[in-house]
Amino acid sequence: MSRSIAEELAKKQKEISVSEFFERNKHILGFDTLTRSLLTTVKEGVDNSLDACEEANILPEIFIEIKQVSRNEYRILMEDNGPGIVKKQIPHIFGRLLYGSRFHSIRQSRGQQGIGISAAVMYGQLTTGKPTTVRSKTAKDDVAHEITLMMDTKRNRPDVLKQDFVIWEGKGHGTKVEIHLKGKYVKGKQSVYEYLKGTAIVNPHAQITLIEPDGTKTELNRVTEKMPPPTKEIKPHPEGIELGILIKMAKATKAKRMSSFLTGDFSRISSRVAKEICEKAMIEPTAKPTRLKLDGAKRVIEAIKQVKIMAPPTDCLSPIGELLIKKGLKNVLDDMRPDFYAPPVTRDPGVYSGNPFQVEVGIVHGGDLPSDGPVKILRFANRVPLLYQQGGCACTQAVETVDWRRYGLEQRGGKGIPYGPAIILVHVASTKIPFTSEAKEAVADIPEIREEIERALRACARRLQIHIKKKVRKKKTKEKFDIVQTLLPKIAEKSANIVGKSVPRLEPIITKIMNVVWIDDACEFKNKKHHITISIYNYTPTRKKFNLYAVVPSGSIGEKSFSLKPNRIRKSGKIRWELKSIPSTEKLEITFDLKGLDEDDFDETEIYVSGINPVQVIGAEPLPGDWDLDDEIEEPTTLDDFIKEDLNEGGEGAIEEEGEVETLSESDEAVEEVMEND
């Protein structure tokens, strides 16, 4: 009886193709709801177009048209100006899952698995029964090739229904895809429009046009002609390599010796390092790698952990860069009129499991951004927006970990997404993004990546904090100054009339009441240059001597344009002046030009001071402890330490661990007394 049941069960065992598996589990690829299915189809087409254009060094021009055919059926037309696809490859690229050129390539790219666009074709025929039409032309061809196809999911092979030569109506080359599918077009959050806006932010070199089902046409114009730096393919890095992968590579290598296998098949392993690994693993350098056994492979893995190996090369990555992040944000978000774009932060590359990665962060604050709700988080991976699964993404988890109360945003309990008029951008670039699923909607919680995101967020948030504090302190001090300027002359005039004497000079009295050094900075763009003016007013009763520092974009300084020659300029854009003496009640003005920048590239100078009690300075912050301009100057390790150190030397105010708490100084009490007497 049991034998007959076993035989019956054995007869039912059969192989299924990968296409059949994903056909039944389409939700894994992002085709779980009508709204998300339509968005995923557009996303996969745009990603392919951007990758193809960048590989061919062509500035992308992408056109998307979405038409509603019936209640839940849509026709999606996507066209680009890329290099085109050769005829014999068209059916395989669009009608075969897990077919692509980037899976085995270790470098940054949007598509990696060879699933995306072919999965969209499969979903379209599954929900509407209609084929997909692809038209493509290369630069060498006189006409375009048009192929109508469907996917044979049983064999995971394309089924070509029709092919023909047609006239290409676009520019010299490109690809045009038409897919019918069941979906739902929505506006607002998690829509095609929001996805394309996000794409334009992190791909400022792309020109994108969208025609929506209601006929609305939107053009997201490129803001730079500069292409992203091309990425180079690298070999696997030994750090974090898994045992099975090592054995597989050893069996497949063409190297005859173990030492040449390590140096030739891995990156950053020199002859010396290979010899050291072999010694620690107790394997002869002349041994044949194809004969590597399990025990030997384990020893090699352990030896790699004990040997110091250089980090992998970073030319396999293509970060956006601080200037282009700011340009992209301004291009898309200017209708919200934010009053501050925090200078974006690009961290140095890191490594997880042998895969290089790099983190970038930008913050936008103020303007018409809603102030009563949680901040908006823009998540990106390899220049692709992530619109779903926000809660399960390492980018969001890193944002929730930071204590945003220290940086001027509201955060209940010191954890979770902060509240306030702000947008936080997080971009992760890597040769292998660790997505949580094949839908590629969230970055997995890898400790190395999350920690780098947290560091970048804090660095960018400090710049936001400086802006908010400077704005608040300037506003408060200006109100105080306006009161003094209005009341004192009237009091002096009345008093002089009563006692029959002339009106005394008020400047010394005003400086005694104000007791601050006021610093203003202005930026004007003319004649293709940014003209920077830094004005320093000494509203204190004594001469002031201190160091002034400014931070501007690297490589933009016109060194011959300074009205006051700096004591030091660094290529990173850091400038230092030693201000020997500014007399009481007098003003010092420093001007210089920045060259080679577009008008939107720069609008506010970061200004810092040292050698003076920072509580007395309005418009500049104390020099941060990680500043590396003056190695000979011993600075405190953190910004808080700097403030505390100055306060201990006799400054006014009070500092608590969670932030700054202001107390009334003598000058504040003097103003209040004048107001009460008046």
pLDDT of residue 294: 92
> 93 with 139, same domain?
yes
Helices 394-401 and 447-499 cross at an angle (nearest 10°) of: 40
Q: Do residues 541 and 535 touch, judged by C-beta distance below 8 A?
A: no
Asked whether residue 55 is domain-assigned, the answer is yes
> 454 with 519, same domain?
no
Q: Give 425-482 pLDDT, tens digit per residue.
A: 999 999 888 888 877 889 999 999 999 999 999 999 988 888 888 777 777 777 777 7
> 662 with 581, same domain?
yes
Q: Give 292-331 pLDDT, tens digit per residue.
A: 999 999 999 999 989 988 878 878 888 888 888 888 888 8
Asked whether residue 481 is domain-assigned, the answer is no
Question: How far apart are alpha carbons 125 and 127 in whole angstroms?
Answer: 6
> 563 with 603, same domain?
yes
> 131 with 57, same domain?
yes
Asked whether residue 282 is domain-assigned, the answer is yes
Question: How far apart are alpha carbons 644 and 654 in whole angstroms?
Answer: 9
Strands 544-551 and 422-430 come out as unpaired
Burial class (CB in 10 A: 0-12, 13-18, 19+), 344: buried
Which residues contact residue 295 at a Cβ distance below 8 angstroms, ignoring those fewer than 6 apart? none
For the chain, the farthest-separated pair of C-alpha atoms sits apart, in whole angstroms, at 126
Q: Reduced to 3 states, what is the DSSP secondary structure of residue 390?
A: helix
514 to each of 167, 520, 602, how far by Cα in Å? 76, 16, 32
Asked whether residue 147 is domain-assigned, the answer is yes
pLDDT of residue 113: 58
Give the end of a domain, one of 465, 493, 519: 465
> 142 with 288, same domain?
no
Domain interval for residue 535: 505-677
406: domain CATH number? Answer: 3.30.230.10
Most confident of 112-126, 338-352, 652-666: 338-352
> 214 with 247, same domain?
no
> 144 with 56, same domain?
yes
- How many structural domains are present in the chain? 4
575 has a pLDDT exceeding 70: yes
Asked whether residue 549 is domain-assigned, the answer is yes
> 34 with 170, same domain?
yes
Burial class (CB in 10 A: 0-12, 13-18, 19+), 604: middle
Strands 621-622 and 606-610 come out as parallel
CA-angle at 398, arms to 394 and 404, nearest 5°: 155
Asked whether residue 39 is domain-assigned, the answer is yes
Q: Give 384-422 pLDDT, tens digit per residue.
A: 899 888 888 999 999 999 999 888 889 887 788 999 899
CA-angle at 652, arms to 650 and 654, nearest 5°: 110
pLDDT of residue 418: 92
554-627-448-113 Cα dihedral, nearest 10 degrees: 0
> 285 with 343, same domain?
no
> 43 with 156, same domain?
yes
> 451 with 359, same domain?
yes
